Structure 1
């Protein structure tokens, strides 16, 4: 046990500590060992610093970046109980009932096997299979972020120019050319004007807004949009049809709505209406407009898709429209409101990071059956 001495004159509340060789070795080992908890390592540093001649609580606190009260607490604890006093006491509560072997069985069974006559495990079925409670299986699934009842889809681009197109478009986002605008262009086709067959029941405390399950169709409209990633504003135009003629008309709208002294770099997908002779002839007459195509099956590279998702969530999904004209009016109103409070759309990942991520994913799925 440490030997108590008279309090230091510089701080009458600070108990002076003298360390034995064994205590010093234990504290030093705690600090150097990587597996030591950070809290325990800090307590060891505090005690070692307090053992220095003339060390006051205030000086130790300033040196280690902790409070004066923290230094005093662990200084007194060590003086009373020695090294054992620095270790956390057992926490209250019921003892652990799940063994490591049980947890391993739940995880391995979930990941490596399938139940008979089903595509995935449920908590009840797995609990019955392993002789455990459903609550225990649910807790283990949550702890390991396992969700057998859910699945997602993926699609990889097979574009032979995938790498070049990624570098081209990401380069526009991260380092746009001088005296130029980068606009992300796409269409949202066949937006339906839907109307409930009965008036909606408004939301009230304890009850969600309710709509009828069936609805009336009043036609569709197509939205053409160009997102300025630097300003965050959108140029939008609605048409009743989705052809190269309407797309050329929209290009003219974009060209007229932007400063004539700036080049226009348009990021868009590989839709057939973007590459017709009609569009090509228009581009020849307007050389300041340059098109940059995303790789096939890589619409996530076009930032206007993010804006489309906002439009859908905030206006279209729960919107009810008695006519296509009402739908188009709502879309224009949303664009005007968005532009009044526009914020830039910021792309953060570099082309190298994207390509490395895709390569890692391809390697993972190529080895998934071995």
Structure 2
């Protein structure tokens, strides 16, 4: 673009140029007024070099060429004072559509139950409801959206959150018991085992998946064939870096008892005491042994459990399964191995065995760093009685 010539050219008088120069140095002037003053000074054709082009001014000021053109045109049409003055909106002073009372009613509606047959509130539903209740005569969905944004409300969002049980005292007592167990000294005679269960639905492809190629990820058809459902019992020793994943048809108390016998008699026969951390499932107790084995066998295991203290059961609190390190190991198993489709249960079990052997060979354990002192800070609101914070 050429120089600023024509009927919208900027030609400043000496008085205007002096006023603009004072404007650029004034500390009380707004940033917008200073920018406009600098633009007019740079575009002034009465300078010795005839002024700069719009492109040059825009690059020097940090604005667009179109903005420079508008300011130059405004000066030529309306004069200096109007150009430097900030424009006042024509609707300034207009009453708000949603005043404080209406806004409070909107917030209450959004936090309440949506209409029957609707899963959640929408912007239009809220606008219509405000009109139906005669809170306002009219309001648009965009006004509702802006008001909800100001109040940090998102009616379309539901977040999964682990809500502690109502008996907070029991929750914190069991949580601290698990945390204390995790930080007790361990050796080969007193291992720590974390145990958890999961169900896995086995599905197979109905159409062969397309392999990954450069520029294209692996693609699989959304349709699948349901093959089976298997129960996975996970036993994890975070100190030793050992784990065992057992696959069974069911997850009854008999299955749990069989897995415990295998843990005591085969996996840790020389251990003096095995500390087992598990959740509060109704099958995870001594009674499951008597419901599974003959009286003599159940009594033998019970003697180990009670007299020789072969096994020490530690339960995580309700809604506190995140405290079980075996749950983390199941998550790794899902992400690294079984989070895919299999033709049958045997194929999945074979892949799990390879994954298990590889991780056991590498000795991949876990180091739990969250302590009881940390819990009393993080979960201080869950404690029925205010506790002293250890610094």
- Give the TM bin, normalised by the shorter chain: 0.5 to 0.7
Q: Is the 8 A contact 1:110 1:121 kept in 2?
A: no
Are 2:363 and 1:352 equivalent residues in the alignment?
no
Matched, 1:321 2:342: yes
Which residue of the partner structure matches residue 318 of structure 2?
A: 296
Residue 377 of structure 2 is aligned to residue 342 of structure 1 = no
Q: Which residue of 2 aligns with 1:148?
A: 155
1:254 aligns with 2:250: no
Partner of 2:207, secondary structure, is: coil
Q: SS state of the match for residue 208, structure 2?
A: coil
* Candidates 278, 283, 286, aligned match of 2:289: 278
Equivalent of 1:330 in 327, 333, 351: 351
The question of 1:188 aligning with 2:198 is answered yes
The question of whether the paired residues in 2 share the 8 Å contact of 1:270 and 1:296 is answered with: yes
* SS of residue paired to 1:113: helix
Partner of 1:113: 109
For 1:332 and 1:104, the matched residues in 2 are separated by 65
SS in 1 for 2:196: strand
How has the CA–CA distance of structure 1 residues 277 and 233 changed in structure 2, closer, same or farther, with 3 Å as cutoff?
A: closer
Kept in 2: contact 1:185–1:266 (CA 8 A): yes
Given that 2:196 and 2:279 are in contact with CA atoms closer than 8 Å, whether structure 1 keeps it comes out as yes
- 1:238 is aligned to 247
- Find the aligned partners of 2:366 and 2:288 in 1 and give their Cα distance: 34
What is the SS of the residue equivalent to 2:221? coil
CA separation in 1, counterparts of 2:248 and 2:156?
41
Is the aligned partner of 1:157 residue 2:157?
Answer: no
Q: Which residue of the partner structure matches residue 310 of structure 1?
A: 332
The 3 A distance-change label for structure 1 pair 278 and 341 is: closer
With normalisation by structure 2, the TM-score equals 0.55
> How many aligned positions are there?
274
Deviation at 1:223, TM superposition (A): 1.5
| 1:211 aligned residue | 221
Query: Which secondary structure state, in structure 1, belongs to the residue aligned with residue 283 of structure 2?
Result: helix
Kindly report the root-mean-square deviation, in angstroms, between the aligned alpha carbons of the 2 structures. 4.4
Question: Aligned-pair distance for 1:348?
Answer: 1.6
- Larger C-alpha radius of gyration, 1 or 2? 2
State how 1:19-58 maps to structure 2 within 5 Å: none
- 2:122 aligns with 122
Deviation at 1:288, TM superposition (A): 3.1
* 8 Å Cα contact 1:169/1:294 also seen in 2: yes
Shift of residue 120, structure 1, vs aligned partner = 3.4
Q: Is there any run of 5+ residues in structure 2 with no aligned partner, and where?
A: 1-23, 36-61, 68-86, 131-137, 291-297, 385-391
Gaps of 5+ in 1: 1-79, 361-370
Secondary structure of 1:253's aligned partner: helix
CA drift of 1:139 comes to 7.4
Structure 1 CA distance for aligned equivalents of residues 246 and 376 of structure 2: 35
Structure 2 vs 1, CA of residues 240 and 127 (structure 1 numbering), >3 Å: closer, same or farther?
same
Match of 2:309 in 1: 287
Q: Distance in 1 between matches of 2:237 and 2:106?
A: 46
1:266-298 deviations in Å (ceiling 9; x for gaps):
111232332225267414226232111223343
